[in-house]
């Protein structure tokens, strides 16, 4: 039996970008670094690494000095001796592929007491996944553990689901463009929608993006040390998945809006570490899509778009550490089956949100270690 093997958990990048080995649809869409924290469980779902659908059989092998593989999922609860960088390889086989592909990644395990001294101001921005407040709650709970600095979450939004100290800028259905342009104060008064917290009227009475003013007006001029942004679902959910040009055009628009927001954010907080979360893989149950969308949107259709979106996010945001910009691999920790309820296509269950929160926390601790 001929098998295609892929060594990867990593940025399958050449010096100029993605791996040029695209002889088959089995491609890798993962950034070069995955983060973990001493004492905090973390996992990698290897199915999320490659262009496969739920029905596709996989044979997985992982080689790393730490952690262990259980089926298709690699798990690690790191100890003190595991702190540091580790090279990881993952081998994934699918019977109908014949060409071999190889790449690798860095697993970065940071100490539990990274950034223990000093203070941390954290801003989280996102859509309904953030509005649910469940992964921000996980981040907050972990920040309360010993070994962390004095911390606060910045933001104007505190939903009922948010824990006491959890604030953010997460709103259901929102996109990069909405954060850049939304200004509807009259509707905001009804509670049905809201103006972007980053958009203000100019002296001429015209609304516009002004992130520096956001910090001045809502946070008394305090700036964040770390910003995490998780967007993309609403930006790219709607194009025809059978039309590659339409998918590319929609992602192009999203990227343009992302760069507009990031430019204003960096103007406001030039020292802040900014993490861009990769849009998570969705529920692998077709029934969840039927329950939410009828026949309008399908699991396989969104899977195709999401995979291309993650590739483009990696391409756009990797290699920009000089701008304090980082990729956070939130697309690869959520289990597409166990991490979702039976009846929701893109919103995880408690386990899925916990995975996202731990993943973001790992990146936050790695940023604290750099200070």
Could you tell me if residue 147 is inside a domain? yes
In degrees and rounded to multiples of 5, residue 94 shows phi and psi of -135, 135
202 and 230 housed in the same domain: yes
Rounded distance, CA 136 to CA 141, Å?
9
76 and 132 housed in the same domain: no
The CATH number of the domain holding residue 82 is 2.60.40.10
Last residue of a domain, one of 110, 143, 160: 110
- Tens-place pLDDT, residues 114-160: 999 989 999 999 999 999 999 999 999 999 999 999 999 999 999 99
Could you tell me if residue 321 is inside a domain? yes
Last residue of a domain, one of 85, 110, 135: 110
125 or 50: which leads in pLDDT: 125
Could you tell me if residue 71 is inside a domain? yes
237 and 306 housed in the same domain: yes
Give me the domain span that covers residue 331.
Answer: 119-370
Separation of CA 288 from chain center: 21
Q: Are 92 and 60 in contact (CB under 8 A)?
A: yes
Question: What interhelical angle do 244-268 and 299-317 show, nearest 10?
Answer: 40
135 and 102 housed in the same domain: no
Could you tell me if residue 76 is inside a domain? yes
> What would the mean pLDDT of 318-330 be, rounded to a whole number?
96
258 and 307 housed in the same domain: yes
Which stretch of 7-16, 212-221, 282-291, 308-317 has the lowest confidence by average pLDDT?
7-16
Give yes or no for residue 308 having a pLDDT over 70.
Answer: yes
71 and 98 housed in the same domain: yes
Q: Which of 306, 286, 307, 308 is nearest to 297 (CA)?
A: 286
Rounded distance, CA 93 to CA 72, Å?
11
- Tens-place pLDDT, residues 229-271: 999 999 999 999 999 999 999 999 999 999 999 999 999 999 9
Q: Is 12 helix (H, G, I), strand (E, B) or coil?
A: coil
Give yes or no for residue 93 having a pLDDT over 50.
Answer: yes
Q: Which of 266, 286, 258 is nearest to 215 (CA)?
A: 266
Q: Are 356 and 330 in contact (CB under 8 A)?
A: yes
89 and 128 housed in the same domain: no
Could you tell me if residue 149 is inside a domain? yes
Token pair listed for 307 = 């995979």
17 or 63: which leads in pLDDT: 63
Residue 49 DSSP symbol: G
- Tens-place pLDDT, residues 213-233: 999 999 999 999 999 999 999
Give yes or no for residue 83 having a pLDDT over 50.
Answer: yes
Last residue of a domain, one of 55, 76, 110: 110
Rounded distance, CA 241 to CA 190, Å?
36
In degrees and rounded to multiples of 5, residue 237 shows phi and psi of -75, -25
* pLDDT recorded at residue 100: 44
99 or 241: which leads in pLDDT: 241
- List the Cα angle 56/58/60 in 5-degree steps: 160
Q: Which parts of the chain are beta strand (E)?
A: 6-7, 13-14, 17-18, 33-37, 42-45, 59-63, 68-70, 73-76, 84-93, 101-102, 105-110, 119-126, 150-154, 169-170, 199-201, 207-209, 226-230, 273-277, 325-328
101 and 123 housed in the same domain: no
End-to-end CA distance of the chain: 51
Rounded distance, CA 9 to CA 62, Å?
9
198 and 79 housed in the same domain: no
pTM > 0.85: yes or no:
yes
- With cut-offs at 50, 70 and 90, classify the pLDDT of residue 101: low
271 and 216 housed in the same domain: yes
Total number of domains constituting the chain: 2
92 and 174 housed in the same domain: no
The CATH number of the domain holding residue 182 is 3.40.50.1110
220 and 82 housed in the same domain: no
Could you tell me if residue 1 is inside a domain? no
The enclosing H or E element of 134 equals helix 134-143
């Amino acid at each position: 039996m001929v098998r295609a093997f892929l060594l990867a958990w990593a940025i399958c990048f050449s010096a100029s970008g993605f791996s040029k080995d695209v002889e088959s649809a089995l491609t890798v869409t993962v950034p070069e670094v995955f983060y973990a924290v001493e004492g905090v469980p973390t996992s990698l779902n290897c199915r999320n690494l490659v262009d496969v659908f739920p029905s596709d059989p996989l044979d997985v092998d992982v080689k790393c000095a730490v952690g262990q593989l259980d089926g298709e999922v690699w798990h690690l609860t790191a100890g003190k001796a595991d702190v540091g960088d580790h090279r990881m390889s993952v081998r994934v086989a699918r019977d109908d592929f014949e060409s071999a592909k190889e790449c690798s990644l860095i697993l970065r395990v940071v100490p539990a007491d990274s950034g223990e001294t000093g203070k941390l101001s954290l801003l989280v921005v996102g859509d309904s996944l953030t509005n649910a407040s469940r992964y921000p709650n996980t981040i907050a709970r972990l920040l309360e553990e010993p070994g962390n600095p004095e911390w606060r979450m910045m933001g104007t939004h505190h939903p009922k689901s948010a824990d006491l100290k959890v604030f953010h800028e997460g709103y259901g259905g929102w996109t990069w463009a909405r954060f850049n342009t939304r200004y509807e104060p009259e509707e905001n008064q009804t509670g049905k929608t809201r103006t972007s917290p980053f958009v203000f009227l100019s002296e001429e009475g015209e609304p516009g993006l002004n992130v520096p003013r956001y910090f001045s007006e809502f946070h008394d001029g305090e700036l964040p040390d770390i910003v995490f942004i998780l967007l993309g679902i609403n930006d790219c959910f709607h194009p025809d998945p059978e039309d590659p040009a339409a998918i590319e055009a929609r992602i192009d628009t999203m990227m343009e809006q992302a760069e507009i927001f990031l430019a204003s954010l960096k103007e406001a907080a030039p020292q802040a570490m900014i993490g861009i979360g990769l849009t998570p893989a969705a529920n692998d149950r077709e029934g969840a899509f039927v329950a939410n969308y009828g026949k309008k949107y399908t699991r396989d259709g969104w899977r195709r778009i999401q995979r291309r979106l993650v590739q483009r996010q990696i391409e756009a945001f990797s290699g920009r550490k000089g701008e304090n910009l980082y990729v956070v691999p939130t697309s690869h920790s959520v289990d597409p089956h166990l991490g979702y309820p039976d009846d929701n296509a893109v919103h995880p269950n408690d386990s899925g949100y916990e995975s996202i929160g731990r993943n973001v926390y790992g990146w936050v601790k790695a940023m604290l270690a750099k200070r």
